Amino acid sequence: MNIDWTSFSLEIINFLVLVWLLKHFLYKPVMDIIGRRQALIAEDLAKAEQARQAAAQMVTDFEARSKEMDSERLRAREELGQEIATLRIAKLEALEAEIAAERDKGAVLRQHEKSEMLRACEEQAVTLAARFASRLLERFASPALCDQLVALAIEQLATLPETTRVQLEASIEQQHAPVRVCSSHPLGDAIRQRLEAALGALTGTPPPVEYSVDPALIAGVAIRVEALLLDASLAAELKLFEASGDAV
């Protein structure tokens, strides 16, 4: 059998050329695409892992902060109880001494003086408690706590009485009154969008909203439309505490 070496050589050359063409124009581009896709997938997985780790760290930090707040609250409550007890004992001792010295002035006068002294003692106790609470709350006030109180206010918006809803909608639509939102810390875009969505769901249309910041709120937000006010701030809670003490 005779072999045509020229034809055989040409066939080999053709085969090698074909292999080179396939590798250069098909295999390499496909492998490049696969490599880029794998790199993108690896990058997405890395970002997802970073986000998961960040979320886990936020949860850990929040739990640690909550434990710290509970411990601080308990310690402050114990200190407050001790000071109130000491103050009450001192006032009662002074009261008893004064009553003993002025016993001849009559039962009515003694009772009046006793009532006034006890009332002053209670007022001082309430003032002291409010001062302790204010210092404690200011220590833990933060943008995160502000956002939590804003979220609570958003939940309260959904449970407003029907009469309040109607009055709110009338103030916005008929008088073109803006919703004034005052917060203890600047609100981020996400919490603003949630708040505006809740107001829009309440009135049927997204109302105009004016934002401002007042550190006197300590933490939280006050939402006002004309005469309507929804105050979800720690400053408001302190005022209620002091008012309840005055009523007693």
The answer to whether the CB of 218 falls within 8 A of the CB of 201 is no
Amino acid at 83: E
Q: What pLDDT tens digit does each residue of the chain (248 aa) get?
A: 566 667 777 777 877 777 777 777 777 776 777 778 888 887 878 887 887 887 778 878 777 787 887 788 788 788 877 888 888 888 878 877 877 777 666 656 666 666 665 565 455 544 544 454 445 455 555 788 788 888 888 888 888 788 877 887 777 776 567 888 898 889 888 989 998 888 888 777 778 889 999 888 888 888 888 777 788 887 777 777 666 555 44
Query: 120: which residues sit within 8 A by CB, 6+ positions away?
Result: 91
Structure tokens at 173: 């639509």
User: Does an H or E element contain 10, and which?
Assistant: helix 5-22
- Beta strands 220-225; 228-233: pairing state: antiparallel
List the beta strands (DSSP E) in the chain: 179-183, 209-213, 220-225, 228-233
The answer to whether the CB of 230 falls within 8 A of the CB of 156 is yes
Q: What is the pTM of this model?
A: 0.44
